Structure 1
Amino acid sequence: MTDLLLPVLHAAAEVILSRPGMAGRGHDAERFTADNRQVIVDALVRVPALRARLREDLAADHGQPEAKAVVTLLLSPDDDVVRAGLRLAERLNRESATRRTLRKRHQEKTDDLRSRLATAKGRHEHSDRAFQSARGALADAEKRAEELDTQVAALQRRLHDPRVLASNLLAILQRAPDADDEGPEARDPRNLRTGQGQGSELPLILAAQAAGIAPEVLATAFQAIAAPPQPVPAPHRVTVTGERHLRVHPIGAAEEIGGSSVLVEAGGTRLLVDAGLRPGDPALPPRDIDQALTGPIHAVVVTHAHTDHCGYVPALVERLPDLRILATPETTVLMPRMWADSAKLMSDRERLYRQWGAGGEVLYSRRAVEAAVQRCEEIPFGAVRRIGDLSVELFPAGHILGAAGVVVRAGDQRVVVTGDISGFRQETVDGYSLPDSAREADLLVMESTCCTEDHSARETRVTDLVRAVEEVYTAGGRVLIPAFALGRAQEIAMIMRRHLPHVPVLLDGMAADVTSSFERITADRPAPLRILGNGVSRARRPDDLNLFASGVVITTSGMLTGGPAVQWAARILPEPRSALFLSGYQDEESSGARLLRLVEEQAPHLSINDHGVQKEVPLRARVEMMRLSAHADRRGLIDIADEVGAREVMLVHGLRHRQRDFAKVLQVRGHTPATTARWGSD
């Protein structure tokens, strides 16, 4: 509230200054009022004529009731009334000053409390972020500890299993010494298969020389321990020669992608090449696995550690406790991590179903993973293992670290199973390398994932990805690249590190864990894989979800079906300057495929499930498919078929209509396509 006397005092000052005696002195009414307040008050009390003059000048409404009352009293003809008006104005002014002081103090206290509240809120948010980060780190640590416990328990069991020990010791002795030269060529599996040209000999030869026996004898001894000869059957039960012919039956991923498994038989021996999971929620076993299990299964040979090729193996071990698991050394290291993750997802899903009163199928538990790890036997490229009436040899298949094709032999017959295969050099692995034993085989069982696609040169695809990332980063945006945890994530991280070293890169979730495994597996090689460091680091959630303002995030799942990629997508998709680049195959029912369709339709939102909460996420970011396939395309598959030169070619791990079209191409080139079904003598 303002000083109630001021309007009257200011008007009185103007009247006084207008008198002839004050003219020409240059007085300012406002300043005069401030300097002569008491003189003007005295004049009001003593000079009725001044009050009369002011009553005419101040006839206008002064707004506030208090101000109107004070003006009326001060301009009264009665001197006593004027004095009473002065006392009233002074009292009201004191009360107004008191109220102003109280309001000021109240405002100061309010501001102080708001500041304290903001500080407390900031501390709480910081503590909450720290708690969430610590909880995430604890969950990761618990997961890693559980995986280590699983591997330690399995290793302890393996130490007491002479068959597994003998097989793995033989693998070490048959492994070629590492090349001395640095560079990408030193990573090429073709340079690791033999000691030729390296001035060194296989450890097996050196061990045999030290023992004073032939290398073949030493290898046979270890083979006998790893696979003891079976008792000779009674004469009337001797199998006829015809029963030792190879028989092949694709029981998974015959005319679909995922759930790979091929049954190979000869005589009384039956083995599986791969036993993968079919994608879905929940994941499912190979489509016809129960048919294969109507008889004994003596071994499963795993081509590589992707779950669509190895994910069902622990379930097999639960059903077949003596099952042998054979794979490359790299794959035997990577598989337990994939199995443990699958077991955890199954357990979490079962727990969720129980909460809703429903039943959920769990294909296997952590105990099954431990048992499967115990049964793993390493086979280096080029080494031969005997399994009953069959022998197997692995060769480099490209695709991902440790991936192998398989040559299965029974007598004079041979079948080659490619697994997932590629012929081009990648950042983490080189292309396939066929051994002589694969050439002119009786049957080539070949993957056909990309059998009707003609991919552009890999260098072109890498250049396109690098250019797109640079554009988004320069504009100040973030790039999310959902990627498969095993192989694709490491490949993209190394591309970023090589071509865009100035762009920060985060690896999140399982992609970061598998990257550490890649580095450990190759640490002792002449050209180890160095991925983390120099701008590539692990993500720290939840902090980095908002604090990582510009750069690249590589995380799982590759099809946006779950994992950290969903949390990142919920934040990045609404940002107009940011981008989401899908990098691999998208199942038709996956969130990634749905996102691509919505972008093509110019839909405004994507519905995603973030930790059980359905969210409508605005689609403002740039969304594109940046294919960096690790599968051979049509031209690459033709080259493989030509190089193997098998009598017949069976297509698996692909879509039926594409296989039909590609089979016609093979036929035109002089190959004989076999029906994707049972093959061989019965």
Structure 2
Amino acid sequence: MSGTPLDAALTAAATVVMARATYRGPDRTPAELVRNRRDWLLGLIARSSALRAEALARLPGDHPARLLFHPSADVAAAAARLAEAGTTTLERRVRQCTERNQKLKGKLDSLRRKLRYEKSDNAGLRADLDAARKAAADAEQEITDLQARLAAQHRRLADPRSLAAALLTALPPDADAALRTSLHDLVAPPRAAASARSRDLRVTPLGGDDHIGGSCLLVESGDTRLLVDAGIRPGDTPEPPRDIAAALQARPEAVVVTHAHADHCGYVPALAARLPRLRVVATPESCRLMPVMWQDSLKVMQQRADVRNSYGGSWQPLYDRTAMDDAVTRLEELPVGVPRRIGDLTVELFPAGHILGAAGAVVRAGDRRVVVTGDISGFRQESVDGYRLPDGARGADLLVLESTCCAEKHDDRETRVGDLVSTVADVHAAGGRVLIPAFALGRAQELALLMRTRLPHVPVLVDGMAKDLTRTFESAADLSIFGGNVAPAPRPPAYDSFTEGVVIATSGMLTAGPAVEWAARILPEADSAVLLSGYQDEESGGRRLLDDARGGAPVHELPARHGTRSVPLRARVDQIRLSAHADRHGLLDIADETRAAQVMLVHGVPWKQRGFRQTLDVRGHATARTAPWQAT
């Protein structure tokens, strides 16, 4: 952990301690004391203001570690917790990956020796060698990615605004009110009050309004402009929000991200690269998850660019690593229920259910208010509770309501979970395997928790990006997912050695990733099953598989890097919907509870939105067109 702000602080404190005979022990150097008695040293810093004062004098005036020696014990303790949380998890994973990489390299060397002395061409050994070589390369890349994220987090904690925002989150509830005010003013410096005229509130959808993907909403008051979300539109080559040019022209002060799914946060690095003063505001959980999502999206975009451009194309990823690292340094944590100024506007986040860290936003301009739900759900899931509206959301001027499932009535969630558990249990009892393609963030962790609690005797592997996100998810949620019967998939892959149990793998629509590789092995097995757990786009591999299975096709064409590949279709194929969105009745409950002057529908399909608007009208809710809106 050499070189972190926390290590610098501990070394300075250790130097002071070793100069005192009272504390001198068997450790001969400050470095040994830091290494051997870290927790004792942290406790001593928290208890002794004199030690903090002496250690403070040993650090440069602009060093970020000086916060650990603040005269206020609350600030010092919060800074220590923040430094530990910001680096320990990533550094531990770097060490784990390095150790795993050494083992893989040893296996690779062993296989090379076996191959060298093999007299005949052994196809199986060559396959093992190729798998070990790829696993070693993957481990090297993972170490590089983790080190890049760790460096970006260090830069973030050295930025005064980001550090102050994180300290506000880490401070105990009973911390000094004046201290909270000072930190808040550092995050959001006070400005002269706007005139009454300039407090008019304007809302303009820039993407993800009459379609799903590329969510982006512009909110304006006076001279202040902010965006709520900046997502990508998924596809073979991801695209920015539909009207991103208007967002760039508005030059917003901040983007408030409702949650870490790519269709809501995926364009933030590109936006931050073009707007150097842009603040990126989200819940602490989303601030942990978004860097992982951005990193994976960049890797996928680079792979797609390589393939397309090998055929003479010229497409480039929407952002590069520099932009991604810069976006990480801009992350500004905002816990739910805590108002924060952004120019003439005030933002308060509230829990929205859906996935870990998901939040709706109440945006105020004077006495005008707009409520943006983001993706929302009211039912409890294994990993997150339902939404909770704050008092400030009730009676707002405008409710911007997602409408993904506004034409659907979901079955009772416990019934759907029971169907899934029963199907998996039956397949496992028959000696088969179950593949569940799943979206990497939210759905994969929900499924893993369901398997762990409902079927603890069934082995479960989590593979692909879902594996990496689950580790971050556990850290951000203080939740155990891996353990018991649930484990991360090994490298090299256990396609043939994992003979019974459940595999949860990305991608959720069977368009690419390890889910496709697992499907190639599992679809030919008559006793096995592939269970699609969510929405399948019309052009997705999952939808084509469903159509083939329902039509009794003997073979299925799986996506491949260059074209498709045929596999026998003998396994059971089914779809089990475990939506994390509110259905028609849930959305009506939100509208009834908010009782806003007007309701605008976004994040949906036009024909479904038209029908739902009519229902809202019948229920006494005035609706606004999905178009630019202004408070009257």
- Which category describes the TM-score, using the shorter chain as reference length? 0.7 to 0.9
- Corresponding position: 1:609 with 2:574: no
Is 2:352–2:373's contact at 8 Å kept on the other side of the alignment?
Answer: yes
Q: Residue in 2 aligned with 1:87? A: none
Q: Residue in 1 aligned with 2:162? A: 164
Aligned-partner Cα distance in 2 for 1:577–1:360: 43
- Relative to structure 1, the CA distance from residue 348 to residue 439 in structure 2 (aligned partners, 3 Å threshold; closer, same or farther) is same
Q: Where in structure 2 are the equivalents of 1:47-446 lying within 5 Å?
A: 120=118, 124=122, 127-173=125-171, 203=172, 205-206=174-175, 208=176, 215=177, 217-229=178-190, 241-446=196-401
Is 1:567–1:610's contact at 8 Å kept on the other side of the alignment?
Answer: no
Output one character per residue of 1:286-319: Cα deviation in whole Å (capped at 9) or x when no partner. Answer: 1111112212111001111110110000000111
- Corresponding position: 1:575 with 2:525: yes
Is 1:150–1:369's contact at 8 Å kept on the other side of the alignment?
Answer: no
Judge which range, 492-501 or 457-466, deviates more.
492-501
Aligned-partner Cα distance in 2 for 1:603–1:121: 43
SS across alignment from 2:559: strand
Give the Å deviation of 1:462: 0.3
Give the Å deviation of 1:127: 4.0
Is 2:555–2:568's contact at 8 Å kept on the other side of the alignment?
Answer: yes
Is 1:147–1:336's contact at 8 Å kept on the other side of the alignment?
Answer: no
Structure 1 gaps of 5+ residues are: 1-115, 174-202, 209-214, 233-237, 524-528
Give the Å deviation of 1:142: 3.0
Q: Max radius of gyration: which structure? A: 1
Q: Where in structure 2 are the equivalents of 1:462-477 lying within 5 Å?
A: 462-477=417-432
Is 2:541–2:559's contact at 8 Å kept on the other side of the alignment?
Answer: no
Give the Å deviation of 1:542: 4.8
Output one character per residue of 1:152-191: Cα deviation in whole Å (capped at 9) or x when no partner. Answer: 2222322432122222222323xxxxxxxxxxxxxxxxxx
- Amino acid of the residue matched to residue 382 of structure 2? E
Aligned-partner Cα distance in 1 for 2:357–2:283: 6
SS across alignment from 1:363: coil
Q: How many residues are matched? A: 518
Give the Å deviation of 1:321: 1.4
Aligned-partner Cα distance in 2 for 1:651–1:678: 12
Which of the numbers 587, 612, 625 marks the counterpart of 1:675?
Answer: 625
- Amino acid of the residue matched to residue 147 of structure 1? D
- Relative to structure 1, the CA distance from residue 407 to residue 122 in structure 2 (aligned partners, 3 Å threshold; closer, same or farther) is farther
Q: Residue in 2 aligned with 1:549? A: 499
Give the Å deviation of 1:122: 10
Aligned-partner Cα distance in 2 for 1:121–1:506: 36
- Relative to structure 1, the CA distance from residue 616 to residue 306 in structure 2 (aligned partners, 3 Å threshold; closer, same or farther) is same
Judge which range, 558-567 or 343-352, deviates more.
343-352
- Corresponding position: 1:590 with 2:545: no
SS across alignment from 2:544: helix
Structure 2 gaps of 5+ residues are: 1-113
Give the Å deviation of 1:134: 3.0
Give the Å deviation of 1:387: 0.2
- Corresponding position: 1:659 with 2:609: yes
SS across alignment from 1:277: coil
Give the Å deviation of 1:450: 0.7
Output one character per residue of 1:375-413: Cα deviation in whole Å (capped at 9) or x when no partner. Answer: 001011111110001010111111111111111011001
- Amino acid of the residue matched to residue 313 of structure 1? V
Q: Residue in 1 aligned with 2:585? A: 635
TM-score by length of 1: 0.73
Which of the numbers 566, 573, 586 marks the counterpart of 2:516?
Answer: 566
SS across alignment from 1:432: coil
Which of the numbers 384, 408, 415 marks the counterpart of 1:453?
Answer: 408
Q: Residue in 1 aligned with 2:90? A: none
Is 1:147–1:337's contact at 8 Å kept on the other side of the alignment?
Answer: no
Give the Å deviation of 1:130: 4.0
- Amino acid of the residue matched to residue 153 of structure 1? A
Q: Residue in 1 aligned with 2:65? A: none
- Amino acid of the residue matched to residue 223 of structure 1? H
Output one character per residue of 1:34-76: Cα deviation in whole Å (capped at 9) or x when no partner. Answer: xxxxxxxxxxxxxxxxxxxxxxxxxxxxxxxxxxxxxxxxxxx
- Amino acid of the residue matched to residue 385 of structure 1? R
Aligned-partner Cα distance in 2 for 1:126–1:135: 14
SS across alignment from 2:326: helix
- Relative to structure 1, the CA distance from residue 611 to residue 353 in structure 2 (aligned partners, 3 Å threshold; closer, same or farther) is closer
Q: Residue in 2 aligned with 1:106? A: none
Aligned-partner Cα distance in 2 for 1:679–1:420: 21
Backbone CA RMSD of aligned residues: 2.1
Output one character per residue of 1:185-218: Cα deviation in whole Å (capped at 9) or x when no partner. Answer: xxxxxxxxxxxxxxxxxx2542x2xxxxxx2x44
Aligned-partner Cα distance in 1 for 2:517–2:454: 27
TM-score by length of 2: 0.79
- Amino acid of the residue matched to residue 519 of structure 2? A
Is 2:224–2:345's contact at 8 Å kept on the other side of the alignment?
Answer: yes
Is 2:302–2:316's contact at 8 Å kept on the other side of the alignment?
Answer: no
Is 1:604–1:619's contact at 8 Å kept on the other side of the alignment?
Answer: yes
- Amino acid of the residue matched to residue 453 of structure 2? R
Aligned-partner Cα distance in 1 for 2:120–2:564: 28
Is 1:607–1:614's contact at 8 Å kept on the other side of the alignment?
Answer: yes
Give the Å deviation of 1:259: 1.1
- Relative to structure 1, the CA distance from residue 120 to residue 400 in structure 2 (aligned partners, 3 Å threshold; closer, same or farther) is same
Give the Å deviation of 1:512: 1.0
Is 1:257–1:653's contact at 8 Å kept on the other side of the alignment?
Answer: yes
Output one character per residue of 1:268-301: Cα deviation in whole Å (capped at 9) or x when no partner. Answer: 1111111111110111111111112212111001
SS across alignment from 1:547: coil
Aligned-partner Cα distance in 2 for 1:439–1:388: 23
